[in-house]
Every structure is written in structure tokens, then in C-alpha cells.
Structure 1
Amino acid sequence: MAKIKAGDFIVKHRLETISDSHVDVPAAQQVTHIQFRRFSSCPICNLHIDTFIERHLELVATGIQEVVVFHSTQEEMLKYGNDVPFAMIADPEKNLYKSFGIESSIFSVINPVVWAPAVTGLLKFKQLPYEKGQSFFGLPADFLIAKTGEVVAVKYGNHADDHWEVDEVIQHARQLAIV
């Protein structure tokens, strides 16, 4: 599995969302931030996604299309993401994960940095982080993709809570003068 790096180009993907619509990556008129999360009942992931929901209008105003991918089924994702204001993609077979070079590691959950957000997420969402057939060891990843398909910034996480925050996504887009 080869990792993607800044300067690489990706082919256009037309992805089906959990709401049965479609989204193009990259977007024709916007910069695309595509983030790969773990599984849809992951308390760390849900805390993270909440920050993107809260600041969605700011992302839109900056010219960023937000796309979130989980290695969960559509059915599982609809339990948690049916009111999300951006594209949510189910990838239970991890086909997109493989094409973007995203890996798994036991270090995703044994790093002590993830324990506090995991407990916070468990308390906030009051759900157990379990989905049949899903691994706890998935790693997150973030990609900022220009309209041309050029990957302009990349972050492969080293543990479950190692991802870009909203401010980082906006800062990368502005620094690279792509919005």
C-alpha cells in the first residue's frame, strides 16, 4: 500500500454518500478535505466530527468541500450521521482506504494520548464503540485536494486522535492559496 504525498495527483472519484447522493472528489469548484476516520461508533471520531459539524459554515465560506469516510456500513453510519451537513461515505471493505494508503496499527489505541478523548466521547455519546467486523486499530488520515486533483497537503495519523483540526484545514488551504 503506497502512501500518497503532497504533489501526487488522484483520479476523480464519484462517491455515493450514506444519504444516497453523490459527491465528486476532487470537487470541480472547491478544495476538498477528505478525512478518513475509523468506524462510525468510535467515540474519538465522533468528538472530532462534531467540531467539523459546528464549524461547517466556516469551511464552506472558505471554499472547502468536506468529505468524511468511515470503514463502516451505511446502516451503521446512519445511526450516527444522518444529520451531518457534509458528505459521509461508507467504505466497509476499505477500498478507498487502500487506494489512499491508509493503514491500521495497534498503536492507534494503546497510545495514552487517546484515552482522555475516548472517555470523553464515551460519556458524551453514551454508546459502546463496537461494530461487528470492524477493527479498533484503524488510523485516521487527512488529505487536502485541489480542483485539479493535486494533493496539496497530507496527514497520516499515528494514533486514533492524530488528525487535523478545523483550524488546520483552513490554515493549509489559505497558506497554499488554493481557496
Structure 2
Amino acid sequence: MNSTDTTTAATGTAAGTGRLAVGARAPGLTEAVTMTGAAPPVLGRSGRSVVLKFYRFANCPLCNLHLHSWVVRAAEVKAAGLVPVAVFHSPVRALREQLQQGAAVPFDVIADPDKRLFRAYGVEESLAGMLHARVAADNMRALRAGYRSMLPFGHEGGIRGHPADFLVDPDGIVRLAHYGADYADTLDVDTVLNAARDLLPAPPPGPAPRPAGRT
């Protein structure tokens, strides 16, 4: 869940793959639809760095387990100057009905049932990706945490899909691109926060504190 493999080419796509390379301009989110109907951040124009997290379908137990770690630490992530955004290949209706988070997700969740963004970012899929010991281990953790799924072939958008993570700077440039080797290989909060400190400019300072005794 905290693997740190990333693409390292300078621009465009990584050689010999459809992967988006470090140094490339991130594909825009302007046509994306969020679960709440809110407009997603405009990459390169929001003045903030964005963390894009790609998951599979809305009630995927693994995805919900991993997403929850970002939900409970969202304030910490935002305080570090990062805007988290999750992308699922389920439609809005499924996200609203099936995303298994006890409280509202405190950041944008994009519905991408046509997988337009998945293709633009080179996100990969395979059946072999589920055949890894850490996938079985995380599935057990998800079940113990109460996350359940429907029958495997009942999911809109299918069951295949590796996670992927992207760190996009305020200019809209990809500074970190992680493509999961299997269904459980997604970057955790600490890994991304550490990478952001190394790879991104410092976030703009907050308002200066008021002098004592002044209102």
C-alpha cells in the first residue's frame, strides 16, 4: 500500500508504455463529473497541488479501505497544501449509492464510467493484478472493517483495474506518477506527504496571526 515505484521519464509518456511520465502536463479535469456535482479543480490554474487517486468501482472493498485512510486524514493533507481528488470508473449514481464511507468524503470524487481519464493517465488493468499476497491480505482487512461487495461480475465498468496515483504541481505538471503493480498497490498518505515535501514548492502561507489583544 505504500510502494514508491514511479515513472521517471522527463516528458510525455514513459518509453514503450501508455504511462504518463513525470514532467508531463497533466490531462485536464474540466469535463469531469463529480459525485456531488461540484466542479473539480482546474489543474495548473487553481494555485494548489493536486493528488489524483485512481480506484476501481464504487463498492470495491479494497478501494474503500484505501480511500478511507485519505478521508480520515483529509484535513492533514489539505493543511500540507494538497488537494486530494479520487477517480472511480463507476457512474455518479453508483458512487452515491454504493461508496462505503460512513461520512461524506471531504474532497472531490470523480465518476469516470467511460474511463476517459483512466485512458488519459494511462491507468492499467489486468486480471493478474488480483493475484498477489497483499491483495488477499488487504481484502481480509477490508472485510474485517465491514466493506462488502456484490458478486464480482455485477459491477458497472467491470472488476479490472490497477490503482494509480499522481502528484500534480500548481502549474499542472506531473511530479510523481505511481502505477500500481497489483490491485492493492496504492500510495498511502504518508508516502505522498513525504514526496510532496521533496518534489513540490512550499504551499502559500496562511494568514498572519493577529497581534495579542487585537480583534
Same fold flag (TM > 0.5): yes
The 5-angstrom pairing of residues 55-134 of structure 1 reads 55-79=73-97, 80=99, 83-129=104-150, 130=152, 131-134=154-157
* TM-score, with length taken from structure 2: 0.78
**What residue number does 2:19 align with?**
3
2:178 to 155, 174, 178: 155
The match for 2:71 is 53
Match of residue 12, structure 1, among 1, 5, 28: 28
Structure with the higher strand share, 1 or 2:
1
State how many pairs are aligned: 179
Query: Residue 11 and residue 102 in structure 1: after superposition, are their counterparts in 2 closer, same or farther (change >3 A)?
Result: closer
Structure exhibiting the larger radius of gyration computed from Cα positions: 2
With the length of structure 1 as denominator, give the TM-score of the two structures: 0.92
SS at match of 1:127: coil
Shift of 1:127: 2.1
Output the aligned Cα RMSD: 1.7
1:138 has 2:161 as partner: yes
Range that drifts further, 108-117 or 154-163: 108-117
Q: Kindly, what percent of the aligned residue pairs are identical? A: 30
SS in 1 for 2:37: coil
* Structure 1 counterpart of 2:160, one-letter code: F
Deviations 1:132-171 (A, max 9, x none): 3332221100000011111001100011110110001111
Q: CA deviation at 1:116?
A: 1.4
Structure 2: how far apart are the matches of 1:126 and 1:99? Answer: 29
Question: What's 1:36 paired with?
Answer: 54
Counterpart amino acid of residue 118 in structure 2 = Y
**8 A Cα contact 1:16 1:89, kept in partner:** yes
Structure 1, gaps ≥5 residues long: none
SS of 2:190's partner is helix
- Which residues of structure 2 form unaligned runs of 5+? 1-16, 203-215
Once the two structures are superposed, residues 35-65 of structure 1 have per-residue CA deviations (whole angstroms, 9 ceiling, x without a partner) of 1011111111111011001100000100000
The 8 Å contact of residues 145 and 152 in structure 1, kept in 2 or not, is answered as: yes
